[in-house]
A and B are shown apart, each in its own frame.
Chain A
């Protein structure tokens, strides 16, 4: 019973966070399955206005680069990667560009991006080795400027997204969710 409540709260808190971000003038939601169903993240974006969503083809690295470009022009993209395993394909733009751009521009360029990804669920169906990996610790090590946050407790979710959006230093954040906590229908 406790874990079911946790799941429900987890998803509710994510929806609340996205609704909060969806009300901001400068946010955009970008990724595959932001406008069309197909993954757990989609279910948290139903309250976000459709005009704020940019559905992407499958080109993960280009999506991260596009997010940087949008952020350089004043937007705060919420860049969604339905599974952690897919975010691996965006490593070039994430590690070589987003994570280095401040250093490379004497702190002039400070794109603020909120990246969302999710560890694929193992229950009731197990997605297997290419759809369920948790690379949190590796990303914490490889990223030097992008903040990495693993969302474990529902009570931390809203304040974490709010803090990411409001952070005055314009840091980018990578939020890692766990689909086993909210993948309920």
Chain B
């Protein structure tokens, strides 16, 4: 890990530590889904993501938003205002949704528009391992490949959907296609909240 990566890793961890403290003080009146333990993987993936690319994320979106280059204070303000589950910034081409797989068809449309406009930009879609198993992923992935759309899927596998273990419920997991980026990690925080009892 070089010096820049180390600094970036610290920024990510410190940001979530800060949010954790604010949340535990009872000031955030909405659920938060903290990121953690996947800093290095994301730092490396985001090296390929350009400023004009779109990034689509889910309810666990803080790291993606930071690495997309959205100012920390702007992200923090939104989270403190109760909008952690749907951080959206048009200027930074960043959209997130709290509905499982909801971003995938939207990503398809964005990538279709980019292709029609002969843009060099891409769409990056960050999904969890349970989302990867859905039918809507399967359909949209097939469409994107067959239509050669500028879209890249990233599967972030923590083997958990809320607290349901993906592999146990599906019996086995589907094979990850070669052109899908995949990494595995163990989540640092619970599905939502910080693990501490908070009085609101």
Contact = CB atoms under 8 A, between A and B. Distances in A.
A65 B90 contact: no
Chain B CB count within 10 A is highest, among A64, A69, A74, A93, for A69
B88 A105 contact: yes
A61 B107 CA distance: 13
Contacts of A104: 83, 86, 88, 97
Give the size range of B's interface with the partner.
Answer: 20 to 34
Contacts of B105: 59, 61-66, 68-69, 93
Contacts of B109: 65-73
Interface in B65-98: 83, 86, 88-91, 95, 97
Contact of A66 (B83, B91, B108, B117): B108
A69 B108 CA distance: 7
B176 interface: no
Contacts, number: 94
A105 B96 CA distance: 10
Contacts of A74: 113, 117
B143 interface: yes
6 contacts: A65-B108, A69-B107, A96-B102, A104-B86, A108-B89, A108-B90
Interface of A: 28, 54, 57, 59, 61-75, 92-93, 96-97, 101, 104-106, 108-109
Interface of B: 83, 86, 88-91, 95, 97, 99, 102, 104-114, 116-117, 136, 139-140, 143
